[in-house]
Amino acid sequence: QEWENTTEREVGKVFQKRAALETQAPSGTVQMASQQQKEEQEWENTTEKRIQGAFKLFDKENKGVVNQEEVPYIMRYLGVYPSEEALVKEILPEMQDDEPTAFVTYQKLKVVLLRLMKTREWEPDPEDVLLQAFRTLDKENKGYIEWDKMKEILTTTDSAPFREKECEQFQRVAVDMDSGHVFYEDYVALVCAGNEQS
């Protein structure tokens, strides 16, 4: 009988400990969920400010709309690089709802960009892919590309060609002013470091 009492007491203690753990687990889970929600809200607030800043660069007259042709530039500025097909067939129509126009409102652009940036669906290519692209253009394996050749490629590409403004910005960052060349390994390292920070 003493053995039976000991076993019942031990079993009772086990159940008490288990019940205590079960009541504590949700509390810890709630705290973790609350922390995660806080972090997600902070990310969303910060990202919204970035989207708004990029939008304002193109909304010169503060009308709350941008030309649909400027959307790819805003997206690239924010590190979102969709294919031309996805942009035309999926992203722009989603931003324009049922009324396709030549303009996109900030509100619609923000909603779509927040989702795309959160899912990281169209992140920039990794460093090795970018380097390979530049090396394809550098047929003589010189380690650089002349600015005139690079500008021609940027302005005549079929998918979202650069305008003069973007060429000037690219030139300021990518071109060595002494030689007039794009030393692409340095440029790719700079771009990839910037992507990691954002």
The 10s digit of each residue's pLDDT in 9-54 is 565 555 555 555 555 555 555 666 677 888 888 989 999 999 999 8
Residue 182's pLDDT is 93
Q: Is the pLDDT of residue 148 over 50?
A: yes
What's the whole-number mean pLDDT along residues 169-177? 86
Q: Is the pLDDT of residue 129 over 90?
A: no
What's the whole-number mean pLDDT along residues 170-190? 88
What are the pLDDT digits (tens) for 49-107? 999 998 998 888 899 999 888 898 888 888 888 877 888 888 988 888 666 678 899 99
Share of the chain above pLDDT 70, in %: 77
Q: What is the pTM assigned to this prediction? A: 0.57
Residue 19's pLDDT is 52
CA-to-CA distance for 137 and 63, rounded, in angstroms?
Answer: 41
List of residues 6+ apart from 10 with CB closer than 8 A: none
Q: What is the dihedral of CA 191, 195, 196, 198, to 10 degrees?
A: 140
Q: Look up residue 24 and give its two tokens.
A: 């504590």
